[in-house]
Amino acid sequence: MSVVIPIDICCKFYKLAIDMCCLFACHTCERNACLIISKDDYNILCTGVSKCIYEKEVEGRDKRELLYYLSSVEDVITKTIKIGGIALEDRICVLTHFPSRMDMKLLIQSGVSTVVTVSSHNIKGDECFNKLKEKCEIILLDDKSTRRELY
């Protein structure tokens, strides 16, 4: 596969996603963000951030119980379905984090053509990651490239 998006543009979108998750992601859980970008003109089509969903406050209880953690990939896919008219096929997905197994499965099913994310140390032999590599191009940003472009 040929590189669809230049590395400097990848780093700029990665920085935008980092800024977005610092502003909008839930402060009590992991802060992650996801951007869906068009391949042709690099327009941002949809964004998503991680969220913690808690039960409603009950009088007399000090703490609320966590019901569900919504990952940024789930959030962006849910938003594209809700908005309608945005197909994820042949799109670029920029993640601020290395995707979990559930996120990888969702990305495979969504049909995105390129995933831009940070590298992980334990990806060798991961069946989901290998399947994701078969289905789409993966651009792994290392610390040197992102640090150079971010600052």
pLDDT at res. 104: 92
| Rounded Cα distance, 149 and 151, in Å | 6
Q: How far apart are CA 112 and CA 109, in angstroms?
A: 8
| Cβ within 8 Å of residue 67, ≥6 positions away | 53, 54, 55
DSSP assignment of 39-66 equals: TTT--EEEEEE-EEEEPPP-TT-S-PPE
Helix axis angle for 143-150 and 7-24, nearest 10°, is 80
Count other C-beta atoms under 10 Å from residue 94's C-beta.
27
Q: Where are the domains of the chain?
A: 7-150
d(CA 148, CA 146): 5
| pTM of the predicted model as reported, rounded to 2 decimal places | 0.84
Q: What is the mean pLDDT of the chain?
A: 84
**Domain 7-150 has what CATH class?**
alpha beta
Give the pLDDT confidence of 32-60 residue by residue, as tens digits. 999 999 998 999 999 999 988 887 776 76
pLDDT in tens, 100-127: 889 999 999 999 999 999 987 777 667 8
